[in-house]
């Protein structure tokens, strides 16, 4: 069911929690000193245990799972998920490599389900509750993967799943086109399936085009035109530590700039002036 209403509310979700210790610290600062209301943790990432320790120190932070099929090492045994792996045993390097295999029917859905379930269990085994579900590179939106994600959400009591969307008219690169086209497949059917499963999704979504590059001016501008209902804002705050720069600088993100924007007093004042409610 979609969360609707006359109010204007925002869920500000920090993706990639667990990526590195610097990213983790930045997300916590964006929560404790800024406007982030929840975060999605990556069970595959090297900073996972560090993120779990920070979660337990900050019990007010709502936590979800950032299901991961690319760019990291798997959680499950490699002999059980062979169709998801590169020759070196790592998950496919990016969404392009994954999509090529997926649409050529070389990816096994039962192996995706197995890896996803292992990722969910890895979080639950720490005692941390999983309240929402989204994914790295939005791959949970693919037909087939979306349906198995709903099944796992119901099995483990996860009440919210992200619906990613963006207007085609605002696309500025081939990467954006590929991701938006992928995420737009069967969008109406996805919403119907979530509603039929009593799983919540937000009325609106923002942050796709600005992912990793949100600045203070972007938030101030968006708050001027926010629609009624509940909007999820996707963000990627953090500190660019050595590990991040070594492994992920090629993304072209600026987590430090996003952290600055999300902790800006001007942004906090704008929310108050517009009567926009922060929701976790």
CATH class of 17-196+240-255: alpha beta
Looking at the predicted structure, is the pLDDT value of residue 30 above 70? yes
Closest CA to 71 of 50, 95, 87: 95
pTM: 0.91
Any idea where the domains of the chain sit in the sequence? Answer: 17-196+240-255
Give 13's DSSP letter. E
Q: Are strands 132-135 and 160-161 parallel, antiparallel or unpaired?
A: parallel
Q: What angle do CA 54, 120, 123 make, to 5 degrees?
A: 25
pLDDT tens-digit readout, 66-117:
999 999 999 999 999 999 999 999 999 999 999 999 999 999 999 999 999 9
Dihedral, CA of residue 175, residue 207, residue 200 and residue 148, to nearest 10? 20
Percent of the chain whose predicted confidence (pLDDT) is above 90: 81
pLDDT tens-digit readout, 136-182:
999 999 999 999 999 999 999 999 999 987 654 454 555 555 555 55
Q: What was the pLDDT predicted at 135?
A: 97
Q: What was the pLDDT predicted at 18?
A: 98
Q: How far apart are CA 243 and CA 201, in angstroms?
A: 33
Bridge partners for 233 per DSSP: 12, 206
Please say whether the beta carbons of 72 and 66 come within 8 A: no
User: Which two three-digit tokens encode residue 52?
Assistant: 């779990």
Q: What was the pLDDT predicted at 165?
A: 74
Percent of the chain whose predicted confidence (pLDDT) is above 70: 90
3-state class percentages of the chain: helix first, strand second, coil last, to nearest 5: 45, 15, 35
């Amino acid at each position: 069911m979609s969360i609707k209403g006359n109010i204007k509310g925002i869920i500000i979700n920090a993706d990639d929690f667990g990526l590195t210790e610097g990213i983790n610290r930045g997300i916590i600062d964006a929560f404790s000193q800024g406007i982030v209301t929840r975060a999605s943790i990556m069970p595959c990432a090297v900073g996972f245990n560090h993120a779990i320790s920070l979660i337990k120190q900050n019990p007010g932070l709502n936590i979800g799972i950032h299901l991961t099929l690319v760019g990291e090492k798997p959680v499950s045994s490699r002999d059980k998920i062979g169709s998801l792996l590169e020759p070196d045993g790592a998950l496919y390097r990016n969404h392009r490599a994954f999509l090529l295999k997926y649409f050529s029917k070389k990816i096994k859905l039962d192996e995706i389900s197995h890896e996803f379930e292992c990722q969910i269990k890895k979080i639950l085994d720490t005692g941390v509750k999983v309240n929402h579900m989204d994914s790295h590179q939005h791959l949970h939106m693919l037909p087939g993967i979306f349906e198995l994600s709903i099944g796992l959400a119901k099995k483990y009591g996860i009440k919210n799943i992200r619906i990613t969307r963006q207007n085609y008219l605002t696309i500025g690169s081939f990467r954006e086109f590929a991701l938006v086209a992928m995420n737009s497949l069967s969008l109406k059917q996805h919403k119907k399936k979530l509603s039929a499963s009593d799983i919540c999704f937000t009325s609106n979504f923002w942050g796709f085009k600005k992912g990793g590059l949100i600045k203070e001016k972007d938030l101030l501008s968006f708050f001027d035109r926010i629609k009624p209902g509940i909007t999820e804002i996707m963000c990627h705050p953090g500190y660019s530590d050595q590990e991040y720069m070594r492994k992920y600088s090629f993304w072209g993100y600026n987590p430090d700039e996003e952290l600055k924007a999300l902790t800006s007093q001007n942004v906090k004042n704008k929310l108050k002036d517009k009567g926009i409610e922060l929701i976790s």
